[in-house]
Structure formats: structure tokens, C-alpha cells
Amino acid sequence: MPEELPRVAGVRFRNAGRIFYFHTAGMRLDPGEFVVVETVRGPEVAKVVIAPDQVVVNELGREELKPILRLATESDIRKADQLRQQAEELLPEARRLGEELRFPAHIDGAEFTLDGRRLTFAFTSDERLDYRDFVKRAGDRFRTRVDMRQMGARDRAKMAGGYGICGRELCCASWLTTFPSISIRMAKEQELPLNPQKISGLCGRLLCCLSYEEEGYKEMRKTLPKIGQRCSTPTGEGKVIGINILRRSITLFADGQRIDVSDRDLGTVVRWDTASKSGDPPPSISRVDAIAQGLIEETEEDRMAADRAAAEPDWIDARPSFEPGPGRGRLPGGGPRKNIPARPPRGEQQPERPQGRQQDRRPPRGPERAAQPRPPREPQQQREQQPRGERPERRPQGQQPAPANLGEGRVFKRTGGPAGEGATERPAREPRPPRGAQPPSNETPPVQADGGQRSGRRRNRRGRGSGAGGEQPPA
């Protein structure tokens, strides 16, 4: 018949303290009850935190377990409170004794056993100290047996209690039973500022909460590329220069600019070689292809995008793509661009332009221009009937209607008499003699059709002769 395991219960002497196991000695215990147990120092009051049926056998050591003496009564609990208060009153006197003996450590706490025969002082020191002289003098003064217990900075904060930078009670004073190993590497992996005031607790050591999320950061970092790793993107190859673990985003340096890539595109559009930091990255693919291959799960945004694509008509995709025309800066189908000859370099003679085109463009002068008919003007009544703001329809060149009175335009001519009897042509004007030369005496100015002597009058006005009737000055 297999040997029955002893019934064991787990007890705790102070709040958030270490759990010790004792033999129940056949008693039926429930969590939350107070019991009196036998320890190395003597009898003490403890609180049951683990029932006998809840203890895991693997947690028990091979040492012989001491029994639980009895359930604590009200008198035991009252006596324990009185002894705790008495020990706190002895602390100032014990500290003065340590200053007299030049004890290099600071005494933080004291406590009595339940029978009051042993007093234990707790002190803080990073090094081992010789406290035999202090124990002897303290035993003579307090008339009891004195023990010393060395603590670290974390144990001191656990005993004193307080509130951390998060605004809650210290973990070590509320629920943390053991102190995990903390290193500065944990703060670096979590991308925390390496400022001692921000990553240190009341004890002056690194925060214990740095170890709570260490495993989570390691798992998330495995799914992200490392700093300096090459990644493939739709626009080309890039290099990782920054990582945000909580947001699961990276910062790439590609084509001379910084690109922020969110969690949505990681592993699909932006890809990297997870096995090697310096290996060639795999080619990037689209998000739709990644969903089809089962690399990522489809989200609600992907479903909405697929519905919008399915709702679009087919003729949108069937449209021909844009093909630029042969001419630069011209719309497609606009025909070939005009060939403009290049300008000759400076210093060379430019070819002469033909004169015929320029002469054709100039309007005719003289009687030819007067002979061209003018289009008739619209009557005032017709112009007033047209509404304002509306312009008459413009017809293309070559389709303008010919005027009705073409060839009936008036030609202005000079007449010979007052009644306009016949029109005579105006004789050609003779060239003027040069200044200083005298005209021949036998010549007379020509007579005009109206019987006036205009040539003589003009000469008289210019001071070339005096007298009426075109008389010339004497030679």
C-alpha cells in the first residue's frame, strides 16, 4: 500500500511575505485563519494562505516539516500586537546604541517572538558586518536574547511600504513574494529612457515591473526586422533605421527618404529575411496576394475594399490605357507636331525670308484700297432688337455670305465745275526744284480745273515770290 503524503498547509508571517510550509498535525484548516507555529526562533503567529488540499507536492523540500501547534486565539493575536508595538518603541534606543558603538549599518525594524524571549533586529547593509559587540550590549540593555537579520534595499522597501511612480502601492509590499532578477538590458529592449530617476523604484534599484513584460517584448521583437536589416518594398529596397514594438511599426530609409510602415503592411508589402540580417530580402507582394496565400488574415477593411472593387462596372477596366501622342505636350490623337527649324548659332548669317509673303500680307494702298467695297452697316433698329450679352453666330472663314450691294460703293472723284460736270483726273505733281535754284521765267504754274492758281499761292506763302497772279520776281 503506498504511503500517504502528509497534510501540509502554507502560512505567511507578514503581508506579501514568503510562504512557509508546516505539517497540519491532523487539523482542518481554511485559508485566512491564524495559527501558532513553531519556528527556529520560537513560537509565532502566522496566517494560513494555502489550504492542505491546495499544496503542490513539488514545491515541498526534503527537509522535515515542523508541526502547527494550534489555532491562534484572540489572546494570542492581542499579545502579538502588544509585542509588535513594544518592539517599535525600542527602535530609537537601539539606533542610539548603534551610534555609540559606531555600528556601520542602519537598524530598520525589530520584532519579538510570541513568548517574548527573543528580540530580532533587522538592518540594511550591502556587505557582511561584524555585529557581535552590538548583540552583546543590546542583550544586556533589553534583558532578552537578541538576534540580527541582514536585509537588502528591496527588503527594506518591502518592510517600509509606500507608493510607486504608477500611483499604486508597491508590488513588493502588496503581493510580490520574491524579487526577480532585473538588468539594464530589459530597459533597453523595451526602449525606455535610461534615466535612473525614471527606471528606479523607492529602493534605489531597477523597477521590478521591468520583468513583467520582458517575455512579451521578446515575442513581439521576433516578428519585426532588426535595426540595419534590408527589406524589399514596392518602390525598391530599403534599410530599417527604427522600430516601434508596441505599435508594431518600422521606419525604413529608401530612395533618400524616411518611410513609416505600419503593422498592416508588415510581412506582406514589406518583406525581409528572418533567418539572416544581411541576406537578400524576398520580393514584395501585394496585400491581396498575401491574403490569398494565407500569410495574413483578412480584416474588415480588406472586405470593404473587395466589395467596392466588385461593385465597379466592367467597362472601367476595359478602357484603353493612355498613350501619349507623337508630339511633346500635345493631347493624344492631336496629330504630329510641327517641325520648327533650330536656330543657327550666334555669329552665323541667318537665311533671308522671302519677301513675297510679307508683301501679300500688307493691305493695299491708294485707289486700290478705296475701290474695295465696305460691308453695309446694320440699321439702328435691328441692332437694338438684339439682346445684350448674346453674340451673333460666328461662321467659319470661307462661308461668310457676300453683301447684297457688292459693287455699288461710292467712289470719291473731283469734279470740274460747281455742278459736277464730268470728272477730271488730277495731273501728276511735278518735282520741286532744289533750294536756291531759280525756275525758268517762261514757265507758268499749271492751272487747276477749278480756275485757281494753287501752286503760286503755296510758293507765295513759303516766301519764294511776292505779288498776285503767280508773278515771278525779277531775275
Structural domain spans, the chain: 8-72, 85-151, 178-218, 223-305
In this prediction, residue 27 carries a pLDDT of 87
Q: For 406-460, what is each residue's pLDDT tens digit?
A: 445 454 455 554 444 444 455 556 666 666 655 555 555 554 444 444 544 555 5
State the pLDDT confidence band at 278, using cuts at 50, 70 and 90. confident
Alpha-carbon distance values, 412 to 128, 370, 395, 409, 423 (Å): 137, 9, 33, 10, 10
- Nearest CA to 188 out of 217, 156, 220 is that of 217
> How, if at all, do strands 118-124 and 145-151 pair?
parallel
Is the pLDDT score of 405 beyond 80? no
Q: How confident is residue 475, by pLDDT bands cut at 50, 70 and 90? A: very low
User: Could you tell me which residues come within 8 angstroms of residue 373 by beta carbon, excluding any fewer than 6 positions away?
Assistant: 403, 405, 406, 407, 408, 409
Say yes or no to pLDDT of 172 above 50.
Answer: yes
> Among the ranges 44-58, 167-181, 327-341, 457-471, which has the highest mean pLDDT value?
167-181
More confident residue, 299 or 30: 30
| Architecture of the domain whose range is 85-151 | 2-Layer Sandwich (3.30)
Other residues' Cβ atoms within 10 Å of the Cβ of residue 355:
8
Task: Give the span between the Cα atoms of 32 and 11, in whole angstroms.
Answer: 9
pLDDT tens per residue, range 115-171: 999 999 999 988 888 999 999 999 999 999 999 999 989 999 999 899 998 999 999
Residue 2: pLDDT band by 50, 70, 90 thresholds? very low
Residue 233's nearest CA partner among 286, 166, 171 is 286
4 pLDDT exceeds 80? no
Reference 429, options 452, 455, 451, 450; nearest CA is: 455
Q: What is the pLDDT of residues 78-112, one digit of tens each?
A: 999 999 999 999 999 999 999 999 999 989 999 99
| 248-267 mean pLDDT | 86
